[in-house]
A and B are shown apart, each in its own frame.
Chain A
Amino acid sequence: MTGATFAQRVAAIAAAFTLTAGAAAAQDLKIGVVNPFSGGMALYGDEMTRGYDIAADQANAKGGVLGRKVVVLRASATNPQEAIAAVEQLIGRDKVDVLSGTYVTAIANAASEAALNNNKLYWETNALARDLTDRGLPNFTRTGPDSTAFARRSVEGTLQLVIPKLGKTAKDMKVWIEHEDSAFGTSIAKEQERLLKEAGVQVTLGSHSARAVDLSDSILRAKNAAPDLWLSTGYVTDHNLLLRTAREQSFRPAAMMLVGTGDTFETLESVGKDFLNGILLVSYPRADVSESFGPGAAAFLAAYRAKYNRDPIAPQAMSAFVGFKILLETIAAAGTTDYEKVIATVAKADKPLGTYETGYGLKLDKTMQNTRALPVIAQWQDGHVKAVFPKEAIAPGGTMLDLGRK
Chain B
Amino acid sequence: MADLANIVAVGILLGGIYALVSVGLNLIFGVIRIVNFAQGEFVMLGMYGTYAAYTFLRVDPYLALVVVLPGLFLFGAIVQRLILAPLRTEPTMQIFATFGLLMLLENVVLALTRGTAYSVTSVVAQTSIGIGGVQVGLVRLVALAAATGVAVALGLFLKHSMLGRAIRAVAQDRSAARLVGVNVDRIYMLTFGIGAALAGLAGCLLTPIYTLSPQIGTSFILPAFAVVVLGGLGSVLGAYIGGFIVGLTEAFAGYYLDPALKHAVLFAVFIAVLIVRPSGLFGQVGAEEVGLRDQS
Contact = CB atoms under 8 A, between A and B. Distances in A.
A220 B14 CA distance: 14
A236 B263 CA distance: 21
Contact of A213 (B125, B223, B260): B223
A220 B220 contact: no
Interface of B: 3, 6-7, 10, 14, 17, 107, 110-111, 114-119, 121, 125-126, 128, 130, 135-137, 140, 209-211, 213-216, 219-220, 223, 250-251, 254-255, 258-260, 262-263
13 contacts: A38-B111, A39-B110, A40-B110, A40-B115, A42-B114, A46-B114, A213-B14, A213-B223, A216-B251, A217-B255, A221-B259, A224-B3, A247-B128
Interface in A197-216: 206-209, 211-216
Contacts of B3: 220, 224
A282 B260 CA distance: 24
Contacts of A207: 258-260
B270 to A, nearest CB: 16
A204 to B, nearest CB: 13
A250 interface: yes
A213 B17 contact: yes
Interface string A262-298: 0000100110100000000000000000000000000
Contacts of B220: 213
B223 to A, nearest CB: 7
Given A43-B116, A212-B219, A218-B259, 11 more contacts: A207-B259, A209-B260, A216-B14, A216-B251, A237-B211, A245-B137, A248-B140, A249-B135, A250-B130, A266-B119, A270-B121
Interface residues of A, number: 39
Contacts of B10: 214, 216-217, 220
A231 to B, nearest CB: 16
Nearest to B139: A248
Contacts of B110: 38-40, 42
Contacts of B119: 240, 266, 269-270
B117 A266 contact: yes
A40 B214 CA distance: 7
Contact of B137 (A208, A220, A236, A248): A248
B251 A211 contact: no
Nearest to A266: B117
A248 B117 contact: no
Contacts of A137: none
B126 A247 contact: yes
* In the complex, the 7 A-B pairs of residues with the closest C-beta atoms, listed nearest first: A217-B254, A270-B119, A40-B115, A248-B137, A240-B211, A42-B114, A216-B10
B20 to A, nearest CB: 12
Contacts of B136: 248
A241 B210 contact: yes
A46 B114 CA distance: 10
B258 A220 contact: no
Contacts of A181: 260
A241 B117 CA distance: 12
Contact of A220 (B116, B216, B255, B263): B255
B199 to A, nearest CB: 15
Given A43-B115, A213-B219, A240-B117, A206 B259 contact: yes
Contacts of A236: 117, 211
Given A216-B10, A218-B259, A211 B219 contact: yes
A41 interface: yes
B211 A208 contact: no
Given A241-B210, A270-B211, A209 B263 contact: yes
A2 B251 CA distance: 90
Contacts of A209: 259-260, 263
B116 A266 contact: yes
A220 B121 contact: no
Contacts of B211: 236-237, 240-241, 266, 270
Contacts of A44: 115
**Residue from A43, A44, A214, A241 whose CB has the most chain B CB atoms within 10 Å:** A214
B60 to A, nearest CB: 16
A313 B6 CA distance: 38
B17 A39 contact: no
B220 to A, nearest CB: 6
A43 B6 contact: no
A53 to B, nearest CB: 17
A46 B219 CA distance: 26
A244 interface: yes
Contacts of B216: 237
Contacts of A213: 14, 17, 219-220, 223
